[in-house]
Amino acid sequence: MNEEYGEKRLMLSPEGEFKFLCHNELSCFNVCCADVNIFLTPYDVLRMKKAMGLSSGEFLKDYTIPLLGDEGLPLVVLKMREDENKQCPFVTPCGCEIYEDRPWACRMYPLFPASSEKEEFLMGKKLSCLGFKEEKQWTIDEWKKAQGIEIYDIMNESYKEITHHDYFLKANKLDPGRSKLLYTACYDLDEFKKFLFETRFFDIYDVEREIIERVKEDGEELLSFGYRWVRFNLFGEDTLRLKDKVFDKVLQAKRKF
Query: What residues from 115 to 134 belong to the interface with ligand SF4 (CB under 6 A)?
Result: 129-131
Kindly identify the residues of this chain, within the stretch 6-25, that bind ligand SF4 according to CB under 6 A. Answer: 22
Which segment (95-103, 189-197, 203-211, 218-226) binds ligand SF4 by CB under 6 A? 95-103
Q: Choose which of 32, 46, 149, 222 interacts with ligand SF4 (CB under 6 A).
A: 32
Task: Please say whether the beta carbons of 140 and 111 come within 8 A.
Answer: yes
Question: Considering the rule CB under 6 A, would residue 77 count as an interface residue with ligand SF4?
Answer: no
* Identified binder of ligand SF4 from the candidate list 45, 60, 76, 88, rule CB under 6 A: 88
Nearest of 86, 101, 96 to residue 51 by alpha carbon: 101
What minimum distance in Å lies between the beta carbon of 55 and ligand SF4?
Answer: 19
| Residue 106 found at the interface with ligand SF4 (CB under 6 A) | yes
Q: Smaller CB distance to ligand SF4: residue 110 or 179?
A: 110
151 binds ligand SF4 (CB under 6 A): no
CA–CA gap between residue 236 and residue 61 (Å, rounded) = 31
The reply on whether position 33 binds ligand SF4 by CB under 6 A is yes
> Does residue 63 touch ligand SF4 according to CB under 6 A?
no
Contact in structure between 13 and 76 (CB atoms under 8 Å): no
Q: How far is the CB of 101 from ligand SF4 (least distance, A)?
A: 9
Interface pick for ligand SF4 out of 31, 52, 114, 207 (rule CB under 6 A): 31
Print burial letters for 174-185: b (CB count within 10 Å at least 16), e (below 16). beeebbebbbbb
Residues that bind ligand SF4 (CB under 6 A): 22, 26, 28-33, 88, 90-91, 96, 102-103, 106, 129-131
